[in-house]
Amino acid sequence: MTPEQENLLFESIGSIKASQEAILNSVAEIKADIHHSIEKSEARQKVVTDALKEDLKASELRQIAAINKHDDRLTKVEEKLTNQRVKVATMGGAAGLTVSLIAYAVKNGIWN
């Protein structure tokens, strides 16, 4: 091998090494960019997830409040219905007692 050929060989080897180093540096930069992008994405996802969790908790609290309000209204309606039934039964009993007393009075001739 002539000195010129050796010189060209070493220049080629140096050029190849420089290209490899540039490629490795580019790969390292791309890897760093990817990791940075992933970290930003994970941070955004965490923010969104936390917001959704808060919204879900607030929704659950609203649902519980609505259920409790409905239960209270149902209890009041049931109480009113029971009171109405008692009133109707009382009126029915009083009317029955009145009819019985009138029938007894007519039968025994108290009103004659």
Domain that holds residue 65: 1-80
Does residue 88 belong to any structural domain of this protein? no
Nearest in space to 47 (alpha carbons), one of 39, 37, 59, 58: 39
Instruction: Check residue 109 and give left, alpha or beta (phi > 0: left; psi -120 to 50: alpha).
Output: left
pLDDT value at residue 47: 97
Is residue 14 assigned to a domain?
Answer: yes
The gap between the terminal CA atoms of the chain, to the nearest Å, is 156
Residue at 108 is within a domain: no
The predicted structure's pLDDT at residue 104: 84
Question: Does residue 32 form part of some domain?
Answer: yes
One pLDDT digit (tens) per residue for the chain, 112 residues: 798 998 999 899 999 999 999 999 999 999 999 999 999 999 999 999 999 999 999 999 999 999 999 999 999 999 999 999 998 888 888 888 888 888 888 888 776 5
Cα separation, 51 vs 101, in Å, equals 74
d(CA 92, CA 60): 47
**Which pTM was predicted?**
0.51
pLDDT value, residue 35: 97
Contact status, residue 67 vs residue 73, Cβ threshold 8 Å: no
